[in-house]
């Protein structure tokens, strides 16, 4: 039985915990380990360790910080299979998908290796006679990262490498459902030479999150998770004077125009709808079929779904289980609700014959046609392998549907008309847009984030916005005095 505890000051926590949670292997349905839940007092002790380490780390040279990050990059690369295996064992996603997540995380580490360029300020000589002005960006101190279950390595890596490269100390609170990858990452940072206490992991639930949100030493919070919790974290964190970016849930629409290549669109809908069992914040959950493509598109999608193998992520299947039994029950209840509401269940994943143990949290890929905007399968984020097709008559109706949705994380348009695609990217109220690309996740050097109920705060993750989030600016105005600068003048300083 795996016992996962906090990682603090460069080593596993030695003080135990009054409360613990169970970790499941979703492919077997069995408990595979236990994870310690931090109390508010534990969090206070961890933040104190981080603050002390952070005071020295902020003074480490850029050369020192980048040398550590290059070493982290090497270690994560060498151990990527081990990290991926941990993800599959606790999250359930298939091994190739877990490896892909580690790869996307590596790209952020590589971006963070370039911190000397991205943190650079500006300099203006002679803003006034013999007066220079320059800007610098400095770390915040201790920052907290709170991450969701669905990307146990990649989402922490959206933030941690950049925060550390910028000179901060980090306390990461990963999801209690699949906590092991985060702990391994912290060990690898330590092995790479990061000073003890700069990167700490506390495990737990709401008690640990609240303690971080209320702790006066924590200066910023990067949160990723569901919209209600994102809103709560944003409101409580900012009320306590912290800088907060809180990325929330999603309902991502893929609009298919009549001139699109319907085979490519069907491939994309299946890949983006059912990859990682739909447990991706950038998963496509709604296909908006613009007349007259509906019938053909639904046929093409459903015929492709017949080839999807659902089963244990270690057995070369296409799609793994859902993360917990509770989540399986919730997603299944949405399928029940879709049928009751009158949507056409073209493919019904309930009772799927999975290639795995009987008690695994299985639900096969499910396709609903003739979904309407008031049905709960349309209004709610399901976060499972359930794809809904909504039929509309025109581009304008498609756009109005997407823009009326409260979420605004990602969207895609499939078309061969460049003008229509350009119009969509201009008019749609969503943060990340794909043109013939179903999951338009920005690369590390751009920033990731949605609009509306998909993001609370004004900073997206990684890229230039990430560097900006984890630093604060100073502007220095400097004059090296000589006797000609003397004299009294109480007027407002003006350029001379
Ligand atoms: P969640 O909101 O349940 O949990 C996220 C984090 O918050 C976890 O660390 C959890 O321990 C903590 N938490 C849970 N309940 C809490 C509470 N009441 N008070 C304080 N903290 C609490 O999310 P999840 O189920 O782990 O992840 C799935 C969700 O994350 C989906 O909604 C998905 O869309 C979203 N997500 C969004 C993005 C994005 O970039 N916008 C990326 C990945 C996942």
pLDDT digits (tens, 9 = 90+) for 217-270: 999 999 999 999 999 999 999 999 999 999 999 999 999 999 999 999 999 999
Pairing mode, strands 284-290 and 252-256: parallel
Ligand 1 proximity of 410 Cβ (cutoff 6 Å)? no
Query: What Å distances lie between residue 209 and 40, 143, 156, 338, 403, CA to CA?
Result: 9, 13, 15, 34, 32
| CB of residue 206 inside a 6 A radius of ligand 1 | yes
The 3 state secondary structure assigned to 418-485 is: HHHHHHHHHHCCCCEEEECCCCCCCCCCCCECCEECCEECCCCECHHHHHHHCEEEEEEEEECCCHHH
pLDDT score of 461 more than 80? yes
Catalytic residue (one of 166, 281, 335, 428): 281
Kindly indicate the confidence band of residue 486, based on its pLDDT and cuts at 50, 70 and 90. Answer: confident
Q: What's the pLDDT at 484?
A: 76
Q: SS3 for 347?
A: strand
| Tens of pLDDT, residues 264-298 | 999 999 999 999 999 999 999 999 999 999 999 99
List the structure tokens of 430: 């969503």
Instruction: Give residue 1's pLDDT.
Output: 84
Structurally, what CATH architecture does the domain formed by 252-435 represent?
3-Layer(aba) Sandwich (3.40)
**Fold match, 2-248+454-476 / 252-435:** no
User: pLDDT per residue over 32-69, tens digit each?
Assistant: 999 999 999 999 999 999 999 999 999 999 999 999 99
- Atom 13 of ligand 1: nearest residue by CA position: 206
CA distance 464 to 138: 14
Q: What value, to the nearest 5°, has the Cα angle with vertex 139 and ends 137 and 143? A: 145
Pairing status of strand 11-12 against strand 7-8: antiparallel
* Any ligand 1 atom below 6 A from CB of 447: no
Task: Tell whether the model's pLDDT for residue 493 goes beyond 90.
Answer: no
DSSP state of 356: S
Ligand 1 atom closest to the Cα of residue 148 is 26
Taking 80 as the threshold, does the pLDDT of residue 496 lie above it?
Answer: no
CATH superfamily of 2-248+454-476: Aldehyde Dehydrogenase; Chain A, domain 1 (3.40.605.10)
DSSP E strands in 225-270: the ranges are: 243-247, 252-256
All structural domains of the chain with their residue ranges: 2-248+454-476, 252-435
| Active-site annotation holds for 113 | no
The per-residue pLDDT for 492 is 87
Mean pLDDT, rounded, of the chain: 97
Q: Whose CA is nearest to atom 20 of ligand 1?
A: 206
| Chain centroid, CA 327 distance in Å | 19
Residue 178 Cβ contacting ligand 1 at under 6 Å: no
237 within ligand 1 shell (Cβ under 6 A) = no
Task: Report pLDDT for 6.
Answer: 98
Pocket test for ligand 1, best of 148, 159, 234 (most atoms within 8 A of CB): 148
Q: Is 450 in the pocket of ligand 1 (CB under 6 A)?
A: yes
Going by C-beta distance under 8 Å and a sequence separation of 6 or more, which residues neighbour residue 464?
118, 445, 447
342 token code pair: 């009158």
How many A from CA of 372 to the centre of ligand 1?
27
- Tens digit of each residue's pLDDT (9 = 90 or more) over 1-42: 899 999 999 999 999 999 999 999 999 999 999 999 999 999
């Amino acid at each position: 039985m795996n016992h996962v505890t906090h990682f603090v000051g460069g080593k596993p926590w030695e003080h135990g915990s009054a409360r613990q949670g169970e970790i499941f292997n979703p492919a077997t349905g069995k408990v595979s380990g236990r994870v310690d839940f931090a109390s508010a007092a534990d969090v206070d002790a961890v933040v104190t360790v981080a603050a002390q380490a952070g005071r020295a780390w902020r003074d480490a040279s850029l050369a020192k910080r980048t040398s550590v990050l290059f070493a982290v990059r090497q270690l994560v690369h060498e151990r990527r299979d081990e990290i991926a295996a941990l993800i599959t064992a606790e999250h359930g996603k298939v091994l190739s998908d877990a490896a892909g997540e580690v790869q996307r995380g590596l790209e952020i580490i590589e971006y963070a290796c370039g911190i000397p360029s991205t943190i650079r300020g500006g300099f203006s000589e002679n803003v006034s006679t013999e007066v220079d002005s320059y800007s610098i960006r400095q770390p915040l101190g201790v920052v907290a990262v709170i991450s969701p279950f669905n990307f146990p390595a990649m989402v922490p890596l959206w933030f941690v490498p950049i925060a550390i490269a910028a000179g901060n100390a980090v306390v990461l609170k990963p999801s209690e459902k699949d906590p092991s990858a985060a702990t391994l990452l912290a060990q690898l940072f330590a092995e790479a030479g990061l000073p003890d206490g700069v990167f700490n992991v506390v495990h737990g639930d709401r008690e640990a999150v609240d303690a971080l949100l209320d702790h006066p030493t924590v200066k910023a919070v990067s949160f990723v998770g569901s919209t209600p919790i994102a809103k709560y974290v944003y409101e409580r964190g900012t009320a306590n004077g912290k800088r907060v970016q809180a990325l929330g849930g999603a309902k991502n629409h893929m609009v298919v125009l009549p001139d699109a290549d319907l085979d490519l669109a069907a491939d994309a809908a299946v890949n983006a709808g059912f990859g990682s069992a739909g447990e991706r914040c950038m998963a496509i959950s709604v296909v908006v079929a613009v007349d007259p493509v509906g019938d053909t598109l639904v046929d093409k999608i459903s015929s492709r779904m017949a080839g999807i193998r659902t089963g244990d992520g270690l057995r070369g299947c296409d799609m793994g289980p859902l993360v917990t039994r509770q989540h399986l029950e919730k997603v299944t209840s949405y399928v029940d609700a879709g049928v009751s509401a009158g949507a056409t269940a073209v493919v019904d994943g309930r009772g799927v014959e999975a290639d795995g143990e009987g008690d695994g949290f299985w639900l096969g890929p499910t396709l609903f046609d003739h979904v309407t905007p008031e049905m709960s399968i349309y209004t709610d984020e399901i976060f499972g392998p359930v794809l809904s097709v909504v039929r509309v008559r025109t581009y304008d109706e498609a756009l109005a549907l997407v823009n009326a949705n409260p979420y605004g994380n990602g969207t895609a348009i499939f078309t061969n008309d460049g003008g229509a695609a350009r119009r969509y990217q201009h008019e749609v109220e969503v943060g990340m847009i794909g043109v013939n690309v179903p999951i338009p996740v920005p690369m590390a050097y751009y920033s990731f984030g949605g609009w509306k109920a998909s993001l609370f705060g004004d900073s997206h993750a990684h890229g230039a916005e990430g560097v900006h989030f984890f630093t604060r600016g100073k502007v220095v105005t400097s004059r090296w005095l000589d006797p000609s600068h003397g004299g009294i003048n109480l007027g407002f300083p003006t350029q001379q």
